Chain A
Amino acid sequence: MSTPDDAGGLTPSTAAEALSASDAVARRIRSHRRWYIAGALVMAVTMIAFTIVLASWPSRLAQVIIPGLVVAAAILVGLAWWGRTVPAAATAATNRTVFLSALLVVVALVLIRLFLPEGFSSWAVLTGLLPGLPFIYLAWRVARA
């Protein structure tokens, strides 16, 4: 890369061209964050669905939950394949998000088991939303970065 001293020999029009090329490249790379945002939203939906189904129909583990998780994992691999970038602000936030979401799954399942009636209910849905919230926040944060 050229150093600031190298830039001294440039004319204003060449410098403006270099700046505009740099902006265009940065914009193109930044536009790929949509794949990461889509991945975060897929994770949010998966965590919500996983919690609700596991709490409401635990006997369906093999029939519904495991195939559902496999499909979600395949979608995430596809999104990562197409995205080919880790957007700014994502690296630091992702590990915290995964940890917080896993913790909220446990909290939601304990709440559902201890305080809610057995089977599917609107309270189970509301409690099941908890593990998805960190990934929705991650998507929002990456979209804003």
Chain B
Amino acid sequence: MAALRSADAVHFGLLRDTLEVSDSLLSKHLASLESAGYIRVTKGYVGRRPRTWYSLTSEGRAALDAYLAALREIVEDPGS
């Protein structure tokens, strides 16, 4: 989700290469995130080749922001 946060849409292949995971593992995670309403899937074409794009929904963005804020709080104030 952090990968999707820094762009409007990211292609499946770029996500796989960036995260260094297998197609099947990535597909499984993306399906879970999509069913949770955190990401949106768009099918399109570049030239004649089909491409699948993923982007964060506003719910996904809010959930990721909350998670990152919680992580920052742990790092900055470990005692709380």
B75 interface neighbour in A1, A6, A16, A33, Cβ under 8 Å: A16
A8 → B minimal CB distance (Å): 7
What class of interface size applies to chain B in its complex with A? 35 or more
The answer to whether B66 has its CB under 8 Å from any CB of chain A is: yes
Determine whether the beta carbon of A88 is less than 8 Å from that of B74: no
Give residues in A with beta carbon < 8 Å to B: 1-4, 6-8, 10-12, 15-16, 18-19, 21-23, 25-30, 32-33, 77, 80-81, 84-91
Q: Which residues of B contact A26 (CB under 8 A)?
A: 2-3, 5-6
Residues of B63-80 whose CB lies within 8 A of A: 63-64, 66-72, 74-75, 78
Q: Which residues of B contact A2 (CB under 8 A)?
A: 67
Give residues in B with beta carbon < 8 Å to A: 1-11, 13-14, 18-19, 33, 36, 38, 46-47, 49, 53, 55, 63-64, 66-72, 74-75, 78
Q: Which residues of B contact A10 (CB under 8 A)?
A: 71, 74
A28 interface neighbour in B13, B18, B33, B47, Cβ under 8 Å: B18
Determine whether the beta carbon of A84 is less than 8 Å from that of B71: no
CA distance A6 to B67 in the complex (A): 9
A84 interface neighbour in B10, B64, B72, B74, Cβ under 8 Å: B10
Determine whether the beta carbon of B70 is less than 8 Å from that of A1: no
A55 → B minimal CB distance (Å): 31
